[in-house]
Structure 1
Amino acid sequence: MKCNKMTMISNSDGATGEDFRILFKMDISMTYPNSVTIEEDSDTGSSSDSIKETGHTNQESQCPDTSAIGKKKLPPKATIGVPGKKRRLTSEVWDYFNIIPKKDPNEELKCQCKKCGNEYSAESKSGTGNLHRHIKKCVKMTTKDIGQYLITSDKGALGTRNAQFSQDKFRELLVHAIVRHELPFSFVEYEGIKNVLTYLEPQIKHITRNTAKSDIKKLHAREINRLGSELRGCPSRICLTSDAWTSIVTDGYLSLTAHYIDSNWLLQKKILNFSYMPPPHNGVALAEKIYSLASSWGIEKKLFSITLDNASANDSCVAILKNQLKLKNSLVCDGVLFHVRCCAHILNLIVQDGLKEIDKSVELIRECVKYVKGSQTRKLRFTECVTQTSLDSKKALVQDVPTRWNSTYRMLSSALYYRLAFCHLQLSDSNFRCCPSLEEWGRVEKICSFLQVFYEATNAFSGSKYPTSNLYFPQVFKIQLKLSEECKSSDDFMKRIGSQMFVKFNKYWSEFNLLLAIAVVFDPRYKFQFIEFSYNKLYGPGSNELVKIRNALFDVYNEYVRTFNISGASSSCSRGSNEVYSHGAKDQEDNQSFDVLEDL
């Protein structure tokens, strides 16, 4: 009967779809009380064609269509919780927005973007067009997964940032790479490089070699201004190192390097200039060039010392520089400590003199190494000899460069290690005829042990990431002590070598810069007791050399007292008051706490 009523209403000409929906809902509720719930579509507002069972009844449906609808079930959907009304959210925009629960029933229903957090109206009357538009323009919606982010690390913490390309940053990094890796300006025009960069960033604008050159000049100007400000504001004095160099096309160049302690007490090494040096390369021209370069940086009044090699032109260069700086009253102790000779260069001259005595033995070792390295067959044969003598084949067999004595020492050291292998190779290979005799091997062994002291000193002096002035005196003391012992040796061969090297040693180090001895006093491992111990060992107690160093130490102290006007400091520290440092010198002679004395 009710089905007939529904049929009559649906077929009436004056009834609308909305009237049908209301009457149908009322009719079903009267027939099946508390048995069904009608769900409405969230977007269209029309009733859903699903009726969900919420209870049971003993009455059978008189309308087949209604019972069929009551048995139909849909999967759960997201809904908006409006009292007395449930709407399913079927639009795809709700995958990107969250509904904000209402605190007041009268306030407007809103939703929030899951990515950026922006809020928009979620009322059905507002529709979803504004939500669709936000999804298209939302910045954080453009990256779908974390794999498209660039991961950056800052002190161990990971962060994320969007991959936004900057043309200015690209050009800055490109010129830094050219400078750091010494690349040609044409590097930016290589087709292969341009293809790689275009693949990584399609929006990139390639630059030419002239643009790269211009950018590097701008970078150079910025760095000069920054370094100049740092040098002029440096609280300490600055030590210079200079050397001349001639290119393969005979063009002369001069380098100038600054060493100083910055405001953070860190050792800094900066190459100030590498400039063209026109002829002549005499003392006057070198002095004018160095002084002009120092003046261009504004540090001519902050110089402490300059280190040069032992070329004769450098002696006259230093004399002229000292006169120029004295006019401005900018030297410590009136320039007595200004000139420092290159220690590594002096060592090279001394050792080269000693190597002349064993030219024959060294030449035989050099020929042995050349023979082994002459072909792959000889290398394999020598490796077999090394295996048969139970030696380690991983140790390299070094071939020297005759102009560098430290490479000669390494060659002799490696040849001595493979001594048995060379002897075995002589027996198995009839073409190998340059193997040294037993007497020559003995000479090589002695000279190698003797040169080890010089090799260790050269390595210590050649460091660039740590101070070396405090290492000078201990290393030179070991060398001088070794030469003195060899001059008194009973072996005529070693005595001849030691005597010849000692003459060269006295030529350069009899009047060495006292500043290098003062640096040892400030080293807590040595202090003044080590100076006393060394000179007592070499010259006996109360030597004039020890007195000179003590006087120079107090002269430097008084100089700094006058410069900085230290209040309360005893600027009248007399040289006679330094006897406090002389006590206990004899007790220090047997002290084994000094690293330099471990091998003596």
Structure 2
Amino acid sequence: MDIDEENTEATINLSDTQGTTSAPSPSKRKAKGIRVAHFVDKEWKMHKRILNFYRMPPPHTGVALSEKINALLVEWGIEKKLFSITLDNASTKDCIVELLKKQLNFRGLLLMDGKFFHVRCCAHILNLIVQDGLKEIDGSVTKVHECIKYIKCSEGRKNKFFTCVAQVGLACSKRGLRQDVPTKWNSTYTMLDSAIFYRRAFLNLALVDSNFSSCPSLEEWDKIKKISNFLGYFYEITCLFSGTNYPTSNLFFPKVFKVHYCIQNAMEDCDDFMRGMGSYMNLKFEKYWSEYSLILAIAVILDPRYKLQFVEWGYDKLYGKELRKLKDVSGTLFALFARYMDEFSHLLVSNPVNQTPTQIKVGDKLFEEFDNIYQDGSTSVEKIELHLYFEEKRLDRKQELDILSWWKLEQFRYPILSCMAFDVLTIPISTVASESVFSISGKVFDQYRSSLLPETVQALLCTRDWLFGKEALEKEGADLEELTEEIFDMNLNENSGQCSNSISLD
């Protein structure tokens, strides 16, 4: 299978994840991986294509995995077009990245020696942050779990609860009452969110059923609502990070800023349980995000709703008048722009005035000193493009924006910046779709899919993905997130385990 000619010039951003087949014992399980290419075509339309679904025999070391990835890059002929690779945070991934960088840098294939090559899966990190926060869970949340467990135990209790629901005027609602699952933190959020909606029914049940002793008090319901609202921020952001049909790199800085700000506020909350959650979360946040990704900070600068002003405001809000971080971002931006200017200078239209031969008069020599001093500083492409972009009024931050379409329209005004946007805005900040992100269990194929040869699975997945793509999936009414989850659930814990699904109580 070859990449079609239309997209041969596109810069490729990769995401890579691994899974396992199901087997009676861990020793018999086989590791598999899936590699996805993210790129923008000449019409500024974003694409996501499965390149490989491969079996990875032992040993599963960083050296072996990097050699496998490098071989597949060469097989596809895209090693010269690679901009970044997005990976989760397993310990072997750092080794993989370093070895790949050395191999690609040896051939001079990476931009700025691979400074922006490795992008950590943001949804994975966010999940680890929330999981640490849930270690300090309040007892009221446990009570909600016990409430739903109590109702679920028998049909008689369910019917009694439904009667209470009708008595408090909620019978017309179609909202489900959900129970949490240990391997998916979002199930804790959806459990609390649904329980809050039915809290009057729970309180009513406590009055008519003397055996129902786990109902939270009014004060505890207030705590539950506070925790639910707090987790809601992370739930919303994780779903945004895990999108596959739109650029996500420009979402990183504002959303991680929001996460950071919420955690800081939680650490200063008047309630002990919120301070505990915030403290645990902050430790994990500092481990992975104490330094914001420079390339993803540049991505938000390339969003005309934010630009450099948002980065400046965000750092000031978090760190005060500390200029080092802002200087790092702006310095990296100008350095990256200079590299693109060297590569794409042929796109610039020379000023016809400068090409007109003029006869030097004797009196003109008087002003040559002025010309020599100020010529470079006032007419550099760097100033023309970057400063024009910064000086133009930002778009309304609240408006919906198809950012790739915006850059398509502006590419003739900003020829170099648009080339940067073409590459940077395609960087995926997550490796799988959102439903899989919430799982902290191992990615395990069932016994039926595991019986297929790896070559057969790869042929089926890649053929459907490349021939039909997003449009066909939408026409069929298929959900891309469900399709990804069918491939395998994402492993978001440092230890592997079995998958579980949420349980709904109607």
- Same structural fold, with TM-score higher than 0.5 when normalized by the shorter chain: yes
**1:477 match:** 257
Mapping of 1:66-77 within 5 angstroms?
none
**1:377 match:** 156
**1:277 match:** 56
Larger mean CA deviation between 465-474 and 369-378 belongs to 369-378
**2:279 match:** 499
Distance 1:264 1:371 in 2: 56
Counterpart pick for 2:9 among 235, 249, 255: 235
Distance 1:549 1:281 in 2: 36
Which of 1 and 2 has higher RCO (CA within 8 Å, sep 6+)? 2
Distance 1:512 1:292 in 2: 31
The residue identity in structure 1 corresponding to 2:300 is V
Confirm or deny: 8 A CA contact 1:333 1:555 kept in the other structure: no
Larger mean CA deviation between 541-550 and 373-382 belongs to 373-382
Counterpart pick for 2:323 among 540, 543, 546: 543
Q: Deviations over 1:495-522 (max 9, x none)?
A: 2221221111111111332111111111
1:398 is the counterpart of 2:173: no
Distance 1:572 1:363 in 2: 63
Query: 1:263 Cα shift?
Result: 2.2
1:308 is the counterpart of 2:308: no
Distance 1:264 1:276 in 2: 35
**2:110 match:** 331
Counterpart pick for 1:348 among 127, 133, 136: 127
Distance 1:581 1:499 in 2: 40
Distance 1:393 1:428 in 2: 22
Confirm or deny: 8 A CA contact 1:387 1:393 kept in the other structure: no
Query: 1:306 Cα shift?
Result: 0.4
**1:262 match:** 41
**2:337 match:** 557
Distance 1:495 1:299 in 2: 48
Structure 2 residue matching 1:255: 3-state secondary structure: strand
The residue identity in structure 2 corresponding to 1:418 is Y
The residue identity in structure 2 corresponding to 1:502 is N
Confirm or deny: 8 A CA contact 1:532 1:582 kept in the other structure: no
Q: Deviations over 1:163-192 (max 9, x none)?
A: xxxxxxxxxxxxxxxxxxxxxxxxxxxxxx
Distance 1:245 1:430 in 2: 48
Q: What TM-score results when the alignment is normalised by the length of structure 2? A: 0.67
Query: 1:549 Cα shift?
Result: 0.9
The structure in which a higher percent of residues are helix is 2
**1:360 match:** 139
The residue identity in structure 2 corresponding to 1:308 is L
Cα gap change, 1:592/1:425 in structure 2, threshold over 3 Å: closer, same or farther?
Answer: farther
**2:187 match:** 407
Confirm or deny: 8 A CA contact 1:239 1:304 kept in the other structure: yes
Mapping of 1:136-535 within 5 angstroms?
224-225=1-2, 228-230=3-5, 233-249=7-23, 250-358=29-137, 360-391=139-170, 392-535=172-315
Q: Deviations over 1:320-350 (max 9, x none)?
A: 0110110111111211111101111111100
Confirm or deny: 8 A CA contact 2:305 2:396 kept in the other structure: no
Distance 2:387 2:180 in 1: 50
Distance 1:444 1:561 in 2: 54
The residue identity in structure 2 corresponding to 1:229 is D
Query: 1:390 Cα shift?
Result: 1.6
Structure 1 residue matching 2:145: 3-state secondary structure: helix
Q: Deviations over 1:273-324 (max 9, x none)?
A: 1110112222111111111111110001110000001111101110101101
Query: 1:364 Cα shift?
Result: 2.0
Confirm or deny: 8 A CA contact 2:143 2:214 kept in the other structure: yes
Distance 1:280 1:442 in 2: 51
Larger mean CA deviation between 486-495 and 475-484 belongs to 486-495
Structure 1 residue matching 2:177: 3-state secondary structure: coil
Equivalent pairs counted in the alignment come to: 365
Percent identity of paired positions between Structure 1 and Structure 2 = 50
The residue identity in structure 2 corresponding to 1:235 is E
Distance 1:235 1:489 in 2: 52
Cα gap change, 1:283/1:572 in structure 2, threshold over 3 Å: closer, same or farther?
Answer: farther
Q: Deviations over 1:510-563 (max 9, x none)?
A: 133211111111112211211111112112235211111111111221111222
Distance 1:289 1:572 in 2: 44
Where does structure 1 lack aligned partners over 5 or more consecutive residues?
1-223
Distance 1:465 1:400 in 2: 29
Q: Deviations over 1:387-417 (max 9, x none)?
A: 1112253211112222111121011111111
Confirm or deny: 8 A CA contact 1:353 1:500 kept in the other structure: yes
Query: 1:579 Cα shift?
Result: 8.5
Query: 1:565 Cα shift?
Result: 3.6
Cα gap change, 1:537/1:235 in structure 2, threshold over 3 Å: closer, same or farther?
Answer: same
Confirm or deny: 8 A CA contact 1:242 1:257 kept in the other structure: yes
Distance 2:399 2:261 in 1: 15
Mapping of 1:73-92 within 5 angstroms?
none
Mapping of 1:39-78 within 5 angstroms?
none
